[in-house]
Homo-oligomer: A and B are copies of this chain.
């Protein structure tokens, strides 16, 4: 076994210090819209437990997000950390800037990773026999995206994609898909939400769901690949 594989196994044990990782995690949860504008995060005590860190470290992270203008922290009962941040509107943000902020190699890496895990998840899900509740969940998320207001579109689009991984019943796979999506959140948020694109995406979403429900793994994987390739090509085009 060559040196190359040693790199995969003897890679860093931790990405950074607990504080930095926590800020990153919370920031992405906010940017992704997991906790929408106006809603509050779980209490510090709960969050600290879920994130596996001390309340002190969590508070430092929350404080920095507060100072950066993402959160409004209120005390007392029924208080908490409320999300102030609003993602870029339907008109999108500065895509070129967002793309060039991350390295070309990192972008390619993230896109490849996302393609692999999301295709894999759809493929797996298509081989499973879904019960009625699971089918309902999938269709519900699809309907949510199709009926989304422009300002909610990206949030519900993300929810739809993550549902596919979650329905496989594999937490590891769900985490991998969530991670993959987090790495391109800023970029996706900068893409304008335009009518034709939405219609195109809707057709592709439908194709994905149909293939999954029909038990067609290859078809599901291919449908996801086509869907993701669209935004991937767009993003790659912005590499200076």
Contact = CB atoms under 8 A, between A and B. Distances in A.
A69 interface: no
Interface in A1-40: 1-2, 4-6, 8-15, 18, 21-22, 25, 28-29, 32-36
B112 A168 contact: yes
A173 interface: yes
A202 interface: no
Count copies of this chain in the complex. 2
Interface in A143-170: 155-156, 158-159, 162-163, 166, 168-170
A87 interface: no
Q: What size tier do the contact residues of chain A reach?
A: 35 or more
A169 B4 CA distance: 11
A198 interface: no
A86 to B, nearest CB: 16
Given A119-B120, A124-B115, A176-B176, A170 B109 contact: yes
A108 interface: yes
A9 B29 contact: yes
A222 interface: yes
